[in-house]
Structures are given as structure tokens and as C-alpha cells.
Chain A
Amino acid sequence: MHIPDGILPASVCLGGYATAGAATWYSLRKIRRKENPREGIPKASLLTAAFFVASWIHVPVPPTSVHLVLNGLLGVVLGYYAFPAILIGLFFQAVMFQHGGLTTLGVNATVMGVPALLAYYVFRLRNFLGKGSRVGTGLCAFLAGALGIGLAAAAAMTILITTMPAGIGTEAERTSIYALTLAHVPLMVIEGAFTALVALFLQRVKPMLLEG
């Protein structure tokens, strides 16, 4: 889901930066409305670093293992800080590991960050079910985690297939997008379950972390 440099046309890269800029502006505006926005920065930063490190943990999916994206969990824990956190995490991955790219940073941040913000809104639905309810927290966190990776995968596949190869028919493009997105359904279940387990752990140990 980390689209590298050289793959996408410049117009798509610039469009990605425009949407990432708009999403960053929206997130920063919400953050600045907080009582002491600077106080939240070290917390969000250390959690950003923790997420960056945690995304390298491999989860067993027999016979192999995968590393989790965790964008839904980022939305659940960081709230409006999730988009800047993803932007920074992807920037680190691009410059340190060449995972992703500098020209595609905007596209990748939009693909992963916008679903993270949506995941935050989905998780807030637990307020209607009662914040202390383990079922409500688990269910909303599962939906947030699954939605986060599901939307990101669908967006990344759509961008890749519609912009990259020349000479593939519209019908073939549509079929490929459906097939590749469906291939991510097992990952959606795993990521959703993992997000729910982490959210339930945090609710038991440090509920403040789920306040966004």
C-alpha cells in the first residue's frame, strides 16, 4: 500500500499533495482548537513513534506472516492527530527505508490518513453504546480497524490500476480492483480483531488513551 516513486504520473502526485494538504489543514485546525495544543504534541509524537515501531511487528497468517498497517488503530488512539502522525510516519518510511516515496507521499498519506480519520469517527460511535461497555468498545474498534485498512486498500488499488498500465480495458480494470480489494478482506478481519484487542487492553489499563 506504499506506492513508490516513479509509478504515478506527476498530476496524480500533485493531486495527492493537494488532498493531503487539505486533510492536514483540517486536522491542525481541529488540534489548534484544543485548550493547550502544544501539550498534546509530545504525546502524539511519542505515540507516532510507537506506531511506527509497532507496524514492524509481524502477525502470523499461516503459512506466512504479515505486518499490520494500524491506520485504524491510529485513528482510534490519536483522533485528529492521526493524519499528521501518518504523514510523518510515511515520511520516515520513505527517507529511511525507501518504503513509499517522496513524490507519492501525498497520495500515500491520503490513502492511509483519510480512512484513519474516518476510523476515529466510527470509534466515537461507542459514546452512544456507553464508553465503559466492553462490547461497544470492541465492536467499534473492530469496525474502525477493518474500515481503516479496507478503505486504504481499495483507494490504493484504484489509484494504481487506473493510472499505471496502458492498454488495459475498463472492464478488466474494474475486475482487478474488485479482486485485489476482496483479497484484502482476510487482512481487514485480522486488522479489525487486532485493533479491538488493543482497544480493550487500553480500556482496561489506560482508558485515557482512547479519548482521542
Chain B
Amino acid sequence: MADYREMWSNLDMDLEKHDVLCQVLPEVFGEVYLSQQKRPRGMDFYDFVVSEIHGVRPAELIEHQKSGGKVFGTFCVYVPDEIVFAAGGIATGLCGGSQFWVAAGEKVLPPNTCPLIKASVGARLDKTCPFFRIADMFVGETTCDGKKKAWEILASEVPMHVIDIPQMKRAQDVNAFEREIHSFIKVVEDFTGSKISADSLGESIKLINNKRKALQRLYEARKAAAVPISGKDALLVTQIAFYDDPSRCAQMANQLSEELEERISRKEGVFPEDTLRIMISGTPMAIPNWKLHHIVETSGAAVVVEESCTGTRYFENLVDETAPTLERQVRALAERYMKTNCACFTPNSARIDDILRLAEEYKVDGIIDTNLQFCNLYSTESHLVKQALAEKNIPVLHLETDYSEQDFEQLRTRVQAFLEMLRE
């Protein structure tokens, strides 16, 4: 078997503790993913990535560093990866989705912090994730109070740059974000020693747009009456997109989409006919958080779309590729990123418009609006989501959960009752 212990040891990881995580993943992935029927052959690549999750990609990042490149760890869909790649760096998503890391985060964070933040801090402090050890710089952002304070803790570990995300979307806010991107360019240039030009930024805009287009194509396939891929598998593709090489990500997602399109032409789905179609909206599900999808899809329904950062928010809207100068490119980036609708903005009615539009496009029977425990922003916004959906007679269930298995059966009961109501 591939032995990565030397690499992990060189990263100053806690091998003994990390070993506990390595023990659990094969069993959970086997039961949650490999037990599914009629999976597309194109999922082989993603099964491979999970099987080598702390091996192959970390080794690639280390090779990049050996040749003088820098790795930037990011935590949010508002961080413009284009800037990092334009300077010859690699951006890799770091959001923690594992319950395994939560306890370590709780040592320094208040208990009423969301599991994503706890896991992200815990993964670094506990030395049990190679990605958190490899990143030369962390790029935080101001999308919630918990994160803002967490960056101050992580800053004592790794060089940290925080991007100030506006809280409103007025013209002056888009201008402010444009200035933030200019500041980020300066930070990245200084850190990498590489100057970003209109040419290099133009190339990286295309690179990241291509990834977005491939994911859009994959999601398009999920609109078919006979759904050609499970929600769990689609979620895995998006989760991996956060840290895979962007051009390989596009290539593999396009290859998978081709297979899905063939399935659609044969009217071949992964679920029985008339399976209920569910949208999941709300907070992100970082790898390996597959809990809610697993509950829905083992309760006789299909997740056909995610309105979340690990869903449509990640890839909807492209950056204008025709901007001729660096200034105009940065403006195009600011405009694209400010189209993403997160509950950290006020007002955020455009997110509700997104949910209504997606409900129609994906022909959903019901929506599960969910938020991670202690995420005040999404939890509060759920009231307005519920109100808007009630006006359109779209059934909705609001759920709050974390990464643990403690509430699994309770959630299953609530989801099953919701599905039962949809069937009536």
C-alpha cells in the first residue's frame, strides 16, 4: 500500500491521532457511497481521490512547493482563486467537514461556534490534516463573526490574509470589494514574488471559468426527469472541486457529464421513476460531511440540487473573459463575486430569488433548508426563506444539524415525515 507516513511526518503531523481518522473513512465511504447502485463509471476518479485523500493531492502540492511555488489555503467561495493562479500559486479549499476535528477546535473556541469553524481550526491545531500543514498562507474572509475571530487564532500558526467582504451590495460595496481584490493582488505578488499581468490573470480567469462551466454542465444533467447521478455523488464532485487541480477538475467533470448526458438520452436514471426530487439549500457541506444527503437518499428521495457554497453558489456566474486590462479584469472579478448570494449580506433577497428559480429549473417537490448548528445568519434567514416558499406553495423543511451522528435518527424521522407529506 502507498505509504505516506514519511510525507506526513515531514509535515509535522500527529501520526497517531491521524491514524484514527484513517481507520474510519474506509468504512463510512464504503457504506455511504460504494453501497449505491447504478453509479456512473465516471465516479471512479472521485472514489480514487477519496481513497487517496491525504496522499496524492498533498504530494502534488508539496512538489509544487519544491519547485518554488506557493500554496494558499482558502475557506470561502468569495476568495478569488484567479488571483492566486495568476501568480503561479495554487489555491486549495481548507474548510473542515469532519467531526473528527471538532473536539480540537473546541479547545480554543466557544462551544456555540459552528462545526465548520471548529473543524477547520481543529484540523490545524491538532496536526491531523496534511492540507492544513502544507498551505504557506491562509486566506480568510469576513463572512461571519466566528470566522473573523478564528482567523486571529490561526494567524499565530500560519501567515494569514483576511479579505474584507462587504455586508451589503450597493454600488459602493462592489467598489470596495474591487479595492480588496487589488489589495489581495499585492499580498499574493509579494508572497509569491511573481507579478500578475493582464495576460496571466486572463489565463487564470479562463481556467477557473472552465471549472465552473464543467460543474454547471454536471448540474444541468441533474435536471433530467430520470436523474442520472445521485445527489451524494454530485456533492462529492463539488467537494473535491475545492481542492483539486482546476484544469483536471474541469476535465473529469466534463467526462462525467458526457456519461450522464448519454444516460439522459437513454432515459436511464439512478432512482426509480417518480422518486421525490429534493433541493437542499443553506450552509456548505465540506468533505466528508455527507450526512443529510445520505438520510434523504436512503429515505426514498433524490437530492437534485444544492443551493449552497458546495453547490450552485460555487459555480454560477462566470467572470467576463473579454476585459482587456488588469483594471477591467479586477472589476469583472468584483462584479462576478458580488453576484453570489450568501446570508452574510443584508438584504439578501436575491438568494430567495435563486431558490425559487432553482426550484423551478430542477422541478423539485420540496426543499430542505438547512444550516449548521450555531450559524445565526442562515438560521435567521430561514424565516424569510420559509415565508417566500409558502407564498409559492413550495413545501419546505428547516433543519439545523452538525457533523456528529448524535441527531442522525432524529433527522431521519423528520425527513421521512416530510417526504411522507410530499407523497400525500
A and B from one complex:
no
Q: What residues of chain A have their CB less than 8 Å away from a CB belonging to chain B?
A: none
